[in-house]
Amino acid sequence: MSYSDSSIRVLKGLEPVKERPGMYTRTDSPTHIIQEIIDNAADEALGGYSKKISVTLHGDGSVSVEDDGRGIPVGIHPGEGVPTVEVVFTRLHAGGKFDKKSGGAYSFSGGLHGVGVSVTNALSTRLEVTVKRDGKIHKMAFAAGHVQEPLVEVGSVGVRHSGTLVRAWPDGSYFDSPKVKRAELERLLRAKAVLLPGVKVSLLDEESGEEKVWQYADGLVSYLAETLPEGEQAGYVSPIFSGERYAGITDPAGFSEGEGAAWALAWCELGGQGESYVNLIPTLLGGTHDAGLRAGVFESVKEFVTHHGLLPGKVNLQAEDVWRNVRFVLSARILDPQFQGQTKEKLSSRDALRLVSTRIKDPLDSWLNSHVEEGKKIAELAIRAAQSRQKSGKVIEKKKQSGAAVLPGKLTDCESADIARNEIFLVEGDSAGGSAKQGREREFQAILPLRGKVLNTWEVARGEIFGNNEVHDIAVALGIDPHESGAPDKVLENLRYGKVIIMADADVDGSHIQTLLLTLFFRHFPKLIEKGHVYIGQPPLYSVKVAAQGKGRPERRHYALDEAERDQILLRLAEDGVREDHIHVGRFKGLGEMNPDQLRETTMLPDTRRLLPLFLPDGAMDEAIRMFTLLMGKGEAAGRRGWMESKGDLVEADI
């Protein structure tokens, strides 16, 4: 097959979406591309410009969404030279959501990258837009993402009447099922009504003539109340605790004006569940805002329990004990939210944890202290959960105390006996080990600093590996003995930690240490990998500090794993209008350069860190042995040289 200049394709306009739709939207059904239109209408309502969102399922398979907002601008775009409404629907990374400055079109919105409705357009056989704005009605149409009918004025309307109507015919060839999921659409629209108190949201099915309307005057409270069980079987159900708090012009915690959260939550003996949203976007997989709610609730309940002396001796209350029975609805408002993926199912903004936890804690403190009897019942649920958890861990506790081995002196152990939850960090260097000790969760995180590089144990006999101090300390700290591949599960009976996390610098030396440790585990402790106990921590290589920009935009800090992620952050900041002289990019030379708070936030805290799980796919054992032998075998120098000569150009290394 020839490889020439003509082999290189350049995808323009909306072609990338058509080539790889799964990168931009869910492809199980067209529901998500319709949601993109609904989200735009909801953003108008969030800004206070719209009071009605109407969705219609038409008999020909198309869906229309209408709002009474300001209407998409129809004038000629100064940079593109075509109507602005055309830019919105035909250009990736175009939209009003980049203007985050005070007074911008959308200070708070779910849209981030300007790819939402342009994706809808690309994956539809036809899309029509009707705009009411400035006393005029304009209309245009697209086919497969291209302009089919240019923008024309089709009528007039009262100056006070404005809004946008979008009707899309999804192209079924891009989706597993060509039909919009009715139940999912109803949940979405109902949630929009809940999160936008007073806004009327409707869904009309033309074929059946059925119409559903949602409108909630008191929003989250009504919504949550509908989900709470009733009757004797439900057990204890607390009153609903609700509230909202947003940052002012000057916020003590350093957040931008308007950032914050609204919530409604209750404790239910049957068990907890919840829904969360960011700028009206449903985050089905939760994220850091959920973690912030959990952290704030835990701290508040823990203080209440301590203040009233409710905790029995030897019972240690943990966050999951308090959270286990919480049912909640959370609506966070974040100026510059960062999601995992374009479908925005999980929030990854690290500051969101602190934002939500600081908003809810004081109001919940006051609520608990003014509802003391209810607070004691809530505390009782949490204490029972803690006792149950500790009871289940006692058998493991006895096992781990057996044996004559003395734990290494440099090991900073954790307090918990819950092996499944406990973690040990194998940390490169004493300096990083010191920061890790200060930044850890002492309840369930242990730290073992490693001095220097671990011995290459690929060709070391099992009885000789303990001659190396680092290997000896790792094995004793873990509580297990070396074993062969295919050994029974009982070889892990005395394992003291559910997660073994390798935490090394994000450079070549750090990668070498990772490889040496993985060699040790693969050769002499293979059951750890087989059962999914081994992880690699992913510390950032870059820190991007954004200086404060007036009272509404305090100093921010972003972290990037590599150059590509750093460049993506810089591009996003440029699109947000941040000046270059307000941005400082720093590079961490190693873990030891991070202060304890930075190391905790980026690499250790379960809610904000990134871990890479290690596993061996079925049938990959022979190839893994071959590769380890090539890389780590003493007699394989010639093979390694040949491999590097043929594959070396593929390596991205920071030498």
What pLDDT, in 10s, does the model give residues 210-237?
999 998 888 889 889 888 988 777 789 9
Determine contact, residues 148/166, Cβ cutoff 8 Å.
Answer: no
The answer on 81 and 229 residing in a single domain is no
Domain assignment present for residue 646? The answer is: yes
Mean per-residue pLDDT for 22-26?
75
Determine contact, residues 480/524, Cβ cutoff 8 Å.
Answer: no
Over 90: is that where the pLDDT of 574 sits? no
d(CA 409, CA 407): 6
Q: Where are the beta strands (DSSP E) in 504-589?
A: 534-537, 542-546, 556-560, 583-587
The answer on 305 and 452 residing in a single domain is no
**Percent of the chain clearing pLDDT 70 (strictly above):** 89
428 is catalytic: yes
Task: Name the domain boundary from 164, 191, 214.
Answer: 214
Give the best-scoring range by mean pLDDT among 128-137, 553-562, 579-588, 592-601: 128-137
The answer on 240 and 92 residing in a single domain is no
CA–CA–CA angle 636, 639, 642 (5° rounding): 150
The tens digit of pLDDT for each residue in 480-502 reads 989 888 889 898 998 999 999 99
Q: Out of 505, 530, 601, 607, which one is annotated catalytic?
A: 505
pLDDT at 366: 95
The tens digit of pLDDT for each residue in 505-550 reads 877 778 888 889 998 998 899 999 999 999 999 888 899 988 877 6
pLDDT at 528: 93
The answer on 200 and 250 residing in a single domain is no
Domain assignment present for residue 357? The answer is: yes
pLDDT at 593: 83
Q: Out of 507, 562, 575, 636, which one is annotated catalytic?
A: 507
pLDDT at 649: 62
At residue 201 the predicted structure's pLDDT band, cuts being 50, 70 and 90, is: very high
pLDDT at 1: 45
The tens digit of pLDDT for each residue in 608-638 reads 888 889 888 877 788 888 888 877 877 777 7
Domain assignment present for residue 274? The answer is: yes
Pull the structure tokens for residue 390.
Answer: 């500790």
The answer on 441 and 382 residing in a single domain is no
Over 80: is that where the pLDDT of 21 sits? no
Over 80: is that where the pLDDT of 343 sits? no
The answer on 352 and 206 residing in a single domain is no
pLDDT at 106: 39
What is the overall mean pLDDT for the chain? 84
Determine contact, residues 132/71, Cβ cutoff 8 Å.
Answer: yes
Which residues, other chains included, contact 628 with Cβ-Cβ below 8 Å and sequence gap of 6+?
458, 519, 522, 523
Over 80: is that where the pLDDT of 584 sits? yes
The answer on 153 and 226 residing in a single domain is no
At residue 239 the predicted structure's pLDDT band, cuts being 50, 70 and 90, is: very high
At residue 648 the predicted structure's pLDDT band, cuts being 50, 70 and 90, is: low
Task: Name the domain boundary from 362, 392, 422.
Answer: 392
351 is catalytic: no
pLDDT at 422: 93
Determine contact, residues 178/170, Cβ cutoff 8 Å.
Answer: yes
Boundaries of domain holding 473? 403-538+613-650
Lowest mean pLDDT among 108-122, 174-188, 441-455, 492-506: 108-122
Supply φ then ψ for residue 83, to 5 degrees.
-55, 140
Stronger pLDDT, 104 or 266, i.e. the higher one: 266
Domain assignment present for residue 579? The answer is: no
Question: Using CB atoms within 10 A of its CB, is residue 272 exposed (0-12), middle (13-18) or buried (19+)?
Answer: middle
CATH number at residue 68: 3.30.565.10
For residue 65, the cross-strand partners are: 55, 166
| 103 backbone φψ class: left, alpha, beta (φ>0; ψ -120 to 50) | left
CATH number at residue 409: 3.40.50.670
pLDDT at 341: 57
pLDDT at 403: 45
Rg of the chain over Cα atoms, rounded to whole angstroms, equals: 28
Domain assignment present for residue 398? The answer is: no
**Percent of the chain clearing pLDDT 90 (strictly above):** 34
The answer on 309 and 162 residing in a single domain is no
Give the best-scoring range by mean pLDDT among 86-100, 422-436, 624-638: 422-436
Over 80: is that where the pLDDT of 80 sits? yes
The answer on 225 and 191 residing in a single domain is no
Alpha helix (H) residue ranges in 199-264:
220-227
Nearest to 576 by CA among 600, 601, 553: 553
Supply φ then ψ for residue 544, to 5 degrees.
-115, 110
507 is catalytic: yes
Residue for token digits 């369930």? 444
Mean per-residue pLDDT for 334-356?
79
Domain assignment present for residue 578? The answer is: no
The answer on 93 and 184 residing in a single domain is yes
Mean per-residue pLDDT for 228-247?
88
pLDDT at 276: 92
Supply φ then ψ for residue 183, to 5 degrees.
-60, -40
Task: Name the domain boundary from 189, 214, 239.
Answer: 214
d(CA 41, CA 117): 11
Pull the structure tokens for residue 229.
Answer: 């069980």
CATH number at residue 247: 3.30.230.10
At residue 558 the predicted structure's pLDDT band, cuts being 50, 70 and 90, is: confident
Lowest mean pLDDT among 99-108, 186-195, 603-612, 640-649: 99-108
At residue 254 the predicted structure's pLDDT band, cuts being 50, 70 and 90, is: confident
Q: For the chain, how many structural domains are there in total?
A: 3
The answer on 265 and 196 residing in a single domain is no
Domain assignment present for residue 546? The answer is: no
Cβ neighbours around 82 below 10 Å, total: 15
Q: Where are the beta strands (DSSP E) in 209-259?
A: 211-214, 241-246
Domain assignment present for residue 71? The answer is: yes
Cβ neighbours around 376 below 10 Å, total: 14
The answer on 259 and 119 residing in a single domain is no
Over 60: is that where the pLDDT of 96 sits? no
The tens digit of pLDDT for each residue in 296-319 reads 999 999 999 999 999 898 888 888
pLDDT at 652: 58
d(CA 311, CA 380): 9
Q: Out of 428, 473, 530, 607, which one is annotated catalytic?
A: 428
At residue 117 the predicted structure's pLDDT band, cuts being 50, 70 and 90, is: confident
pLDDT at 68: 93
At residue 129 the predicted structure's pLDDT band, cuts being 50, 70 and 90, is: very high
Over 50: is that where the pLDDT of 52 sits? yes
Over 60: is that where the pLDDT of 126 sits? yes
The tens digit of pLDDT for each residue in 382-420 reads 999 988 887 765 544 433 444 445 778 788 998 888 888
pLDDT at 650: 61
pLDDT at 402: 42
